[in-house]
Structure 1
Amino acid sequence: MHATDCTEEERAQFKLWLDEHPSHATEYVAMLEIWDLSEQLPAHAAASAPRPALRQVPPAPVVPVRTRRRWRAQLRAVTLAALALPLAAYGGWIMGWLPNSYEHFETQQNISRITLGDGSEVELNSTSELSFFNFRDERHVSLGSGEAYFHVTHDSAHPFVVSAGEGSITVTGTRFNVWRYEDSVVVTVTEGSVRVQSERQGNDSTLTPGMQASFKAGDLKPRVRSVDTQTALAWRDGKLILNDITLGEAVPLLNRYLEEPLILADQSTADIRIGGIYSTRDVSNLVKALPKVLPIKLEPQPDGTTLIRNRGARL
């Protein structure tokens, strides 16, 4: 009904549908509440508009901070020696045990764009955490949580390795996205190629543009499929695209932007389907409106989480 090419015949059919039952008008008004949320989408974020590979994003304050990390036993020993003798530090760099630079970044509610020490550019989604280590023989990134889109500076002599969850992603120069949610990791490639390896060494997969791999703890090999990269990377434009997927697939995407997570009551609830394009800045209001357009009810829990239950399911 909002399309510019909606015909008079279609409008007449819609009018007949409205008149068939009073509940139809109620459902339509409820859907309009969801539709109104789209007004908060950025004006430049139309799906049909061409977009550059990298764009300027107003950065949130990102302050490098020191954090403790687990290190290999030999790295601990070399680090202690390096504190006492600069020569030991140089030796650790030559041996490839110690990085010559370290950076740590965290984001809160905004997308931030950062440049790593090797010149690679990264866009960090909200509530994300990333550390960068520049070793002699490789560049290493640890994605502690959240999501990041990488434009890696090409350097075939120094591979760029991203550790996330129980796996790793290795490249020399390309553009790709990594999303870490609980013990699951999803990798999407937009340019070049990457090698994705799950927890079990030797069972890796090579991804090219338009391909996506996912894995979680214990997987023998990443699961690979073809995807629409515009949908997968819509977060960079402040959009959340749910393309007729189940609530089981949608809840992890919604939880990225909620202070307290949603929980599904059972499989019948997880199987309910949802679609639409929404603003990542107003996901909490989207969740509140869902019972008006889906056969679900929201049940706040004592721990602050919200349980989603199928209204038609037996208790």
Structure 2
Amino acid sequence: MEMNDELLIKFLLKETSEDENTIVNDWLLASPANAAQLTQFEKIWNASKQLAATSQVDEQQAWLKFKAKADALPVAQPIVKPLKRNHLWLRIAAVLVVAFSVWSLYTILAPSAYIEVVSTDQVLNKTLPDGSALTINKNTQISYANNFKKNRSVRLKEGDVFFDVAHDKQHPFVIDIDDVDVEVVGTSFNIKHRKDNTEIVVETGIVKVKLNDQEIRLVKGEKLLISPATKQLQKEQSTDQLYNYYRTKLFIANNTPLQKLVEALNEAYGSNVVVDDKVNVTFTGPLELGNLDQNLSVICDALKLKITRNQKEILLSYP
């Protein structure tokens, strides 16, 4: 069913009769695409209100321009039919021409819209339009520009993501994390951003990190820790692969402090395992991402610790 634009304009002006309201409402209910048409038409009309008082556009010429522009819109836009050539409708058409131009300019110059990807209780695999592959851990919020091939921009709000970035020298891959900017061309690395703490671990290639007036480069085997307290860019060698557990399904520790290993376990299982203050030991070896109780038993057997459970926590301590 085609809709007459004159009737749509009257509908927006609230000048339709009861029968005409019924016609428009039935048309809107007939297809989601019809509602999208009216929404776009309404955006143009709302923008025109601020311009109506000052518009000096020649009305007859304006209508011809508006019709030409509207005819060039995608199919989802309203089909334009000639309006009655009286003064009121020509004035509306003239204002719509100005509004259409403003809206088009805004669409071109406004910041690119972003497509959001949210994981909750499952690890997600996502391939971006440029071919870059992402592994997204549970409880992660990330978004990427909708014109991604030309604007390889990503925003990480919270969580863990492993990036395997497609090589493209002409369009650097940029990740925005609060005040931190990460820029690469083609490389693989992991970013963890939780509770305002950021950890970046590089597996291949070179990663450039910026924070205010600081800049640092990371290469394979290096990592960077940024906390709200320090706000300093200080790199160090990566000594374990705990960050990778959600990809490899393994907790790989290498002389790793038990407290750090337990933090990874709590994140993975949503548990509340606590290490007694008197325990200051390290652990080496792989643990499968399977059963928490089984992994705790392996840890306690190796380190000669005991497990105490209550309703709030699981305590690891000396016997």
Q: TM-score range by the shorter chain?
A: 0.5 to 0.7
Corresponding residue for 2:291? 282
- Deviations along 1:133-189, one digit per CA (max 9) or x if unpaired, are 346874332223332111223344443222336523122332211122433221112
Corresponding residue for 1:177? 190
* Larger RCO, structure (CA 8 Å, separation 6 or more): 1
Q: Give runs of aligned pairs for residues 294-313 of structure 1, distance below 5 A.
A: 294-300=303-309, 302=311, 304=312, 306-311=313-318
1:202 to 213, 220, 223: 213
Corresponding residue for 1:124? 136
1:277 CA drift (Å): 0.5
Corresponding residue for 2:268? 257
Mapped pair 1:191 → 2:225: no
1:93 CA drift (Å): 5.2
- Helix, strand or coil at the partner of 2:286: strand
- The letter of the residue matching 2:289 is T
- Helix, strand or coil at the partner of 1:281: coil
CA RMSD of aligned residues (A): 3.4
1:167 to 180, 198, 218: 180
Q: Give runs of aligned pairs for residues 37-186 of structure 1, distance below 5 A.
A: 90-92=104-106, 94-95=108-109, 97-109=110-122, 111-134=123-146, 138-164=151-177, 166-186=179-199
- Helix, strand or coil at the partner of 2:259: helix
CA distance in 1, matches of 2:45, 2:315: 53
- Helix, strand or coil at the partner of 1:220: coil
- The letter of the residue matching 1:129 is Q
- Deviations along 1:215-268, one digit per CA (max 9) or x if unpaired, are 1113232221233686753542211101121112212221221123333442x3
Corresponding residue for 2:282? 273
1:206 CA drift (Å): 0.7
Give the structure with higher Rg (CA). Answer: 2
Q: TM-score, with normalisation over the residues of structure 1?
A: 0.59
Question: CA separation of 1:291/1:206 partners in 2, compared to 1, >3 Å: closer, same or farther?
Answer: same
Q: TM-score, with normalisation over the residues of structure 2?
A: 0.59
Corresponding residue for 2:90? none
- Matched length: 225
- The letter of the residue matching 2:281 is I
Question: CA separation of 1:100/1:142 partners in 2, compared to 1, >3 Å: closer, same or farther?
Answer: closer
- Helix, strand or coil at the partner of 2:268: coil
Gaps of 5+ in 2: 1-42, 48-98
- Deviations along 1:87-131, one digit per CA (max 9) or x if unpaired, are 656544543x4224523231523x332112343211123343322
